[in-house]
Amino acid sequence: DTTVKQNPRYKLARVGKPVNLICSQTMNHDTMYWYQKKPNQAPKLLLFYYDKILNREADTFEKFQSSRPNNSFCSLYIGSAGLEYSAMYLCASSRDHGQLTEVFFGKGTRLTVV
Amino acid sequence: QQKVQQSPESLIVPEGGMASLNCTFSDRNSQYFWWYRQHSGEGPKALMSIFSNGDKKEGRFTAHLNKASLHVSLHIKDSQPSDSALYFCAVSYQGGRALIFGTGTTVSVSP
């Protein structure tokens, strides 16, 4: 099974409220990623876990948190949602760092902040 | 910061025709190049990779890489309606943190 599962597929959140998105994979991949995708923009890497080590991008460091309680699960947490967080959030996984090997993506969670 | 740009933004191709997608990158240290395809309602899925200068053919798809020109392209021969999708170019290098994606090219194959 080469699927990455994301829940929920659609999420409505209020400004100022927290948001928690969930992702799982059963491929025993070392690395799990979160990307943010807005219309007409490239998927933007937010952070990734290599094994238990979290790597966050410098420009999104304070905006997103994540946890990986075991190899299969990874969450993305927004402490206080703003309108600018409305986007598609794509979770992905790969063996190793994903440069030489395929990165597998989930179908995404569409977050709308109102 | 690596910049990956794709052209054209969108492309309409007749069924059976050739689609040509372009991607330019800014970091000369780039080593690994991928094409991903995303159908509506699905996540992106890897189509093919190319790591050496020249052409790489997989079925109806041919990727071409020219590192000196900072350019990679994808050509789809005998386009089918099922090829209608959003195509992303993705770039990385040894020791890089993760793939950096372009903005994508939307391909529509008209019957």
**pLDDT 10s digits, B51-60:** 999 999 999 9
| pLDDT for res B30 | 87
Structure tokens at A37: 């995708």
| pLDDT for res B95 | 67
For chain A, first and last CA: distance in Å?
A: 36
| pLDDT for res A6 | 96
Range B65-80 average pLDDT: 97
- Residue A38 touches partner B, C-beta closer than 8 Å: no
Does residue B18 sit in helix, strand or coil?
coil
| pLDDT for res A58 | 84
Task: Write out residues in chain A with pLDDT < 50, as ranges.
Answer: none
Nearest CA among A17, A34, A29 for reference residue A112: A17
- Residue B42 touches partner A, C-beta closer than 8 Å: yes
Residues 55-94 on B with a CB inside 8 Å of A are: 88, 92-94
Return the residue of A nearest to B6 by Cα.
A42
| pLDDT for res B53 | 96
**pLDDT 10s digits, A3-34:** 899 989 999 999 999 999 999 999 999 999 99
